[in-house]
């Protein structure tokens, strides 16, 4: 089974980069040619993949982990497809189905409602996460009172949870701002 994408945390990447990057590049090279967008979607990317070196790309997943993947022959292919680039618009084919304005407006309204509901849920989760984090000084649990490392691990997890919800809220607000 070929390796399609490899997802690791930032700290682990630094420690294992000398071993992992050549292995990832070799495994991904044998996986067959795909577009950068297809590989990014397959890897679970939530942001635009950034070229690291030639055909090696890096992006961030929904969990906050970093995904690395290789797209053979895709050197600079992603930059030509970026928004605001110089890609030509092709006309819509004559037999292509069209959606009337009212249907599209209903779909846009539904999308806005769903995004607004998700934003409200994320804001509640952020408030809960901040409350649990307690500005970096939550009350130690009984099993953590004798084990400072366990307490520090929980503080780290709580801080990461707060950061994740903040990023999600930022992304949802950006998406809501882009709706018509």
pLDDT band at 129 (very low <50, low <70, confident <90, very high): very high
pLDDT, tens only, 34-81 = 678 888 788 788 888 888 777 788 888 888 888 877 776 655 444 444
Question: Domains of the chain: which residue ranges?
Answer: 6-81, 101-178
Q: Considering the entire predicted model, what is its pTM?
A: 0.47
User: 174: which 2 tokens?
Assistant: 């950006």
What are the distances in angstroms from CA 108 to CA 82, 103, 105, 112, 169? 24, 9, 5, 6, 20
The residue that leads in pLDDT, 129 or 40, is 129
SS3 state at 162: helix
pLDDT band at 95 (very low <50, low <70, confident <90, very high): confident
SS (H, E, C) 126-165: HHHHHHHHHHHCCCCCHHHCCCHHHHHHHHHHHHHHHHHH
pLDDT, tens only, 100-125 = 999 999 999 999 999 999 999 999 99
* Dist. CA 55–CA 86, nearest whole Å: 21
């Amino acid at each position: 089974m070929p390796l399609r994408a490899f997802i690791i945390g930032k700290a682990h990447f630094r420690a294992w980069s000398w071993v992992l990057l050549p292995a990832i590049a070799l495994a991904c090279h044998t996986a067959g040619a795909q577009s950068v967008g297809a590989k990014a979607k397959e890897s679970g990317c939530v942001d635009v993949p950034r070229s690291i070196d030639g055909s090696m790309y890096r992006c961030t997943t929904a969990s906050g982990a970093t995904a690395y993947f290789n797209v053979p022959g895709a050197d600079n292919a992603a930059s030509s497809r970026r928004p605001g680039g110089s890609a030509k618009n092709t006309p819509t084919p004559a037999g292509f189905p069209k959606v009337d304005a009212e249907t599209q407006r209903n779909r846009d309204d539904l999308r806005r409602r769903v995004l607004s509901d998700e934003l409200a849920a994320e804001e509640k989760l952020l408030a809960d996460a901040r409350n649990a984090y307690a500005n970096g000084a939550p009350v130690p649990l009984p099993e953590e009172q004798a084990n400072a490392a366990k307490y520090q691990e929980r503080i780290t997890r709580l801080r990461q949870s707060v950061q994740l919800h903040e990023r999600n809220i930022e992304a949802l607000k950006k998406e809501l701002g882009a709706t018509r």
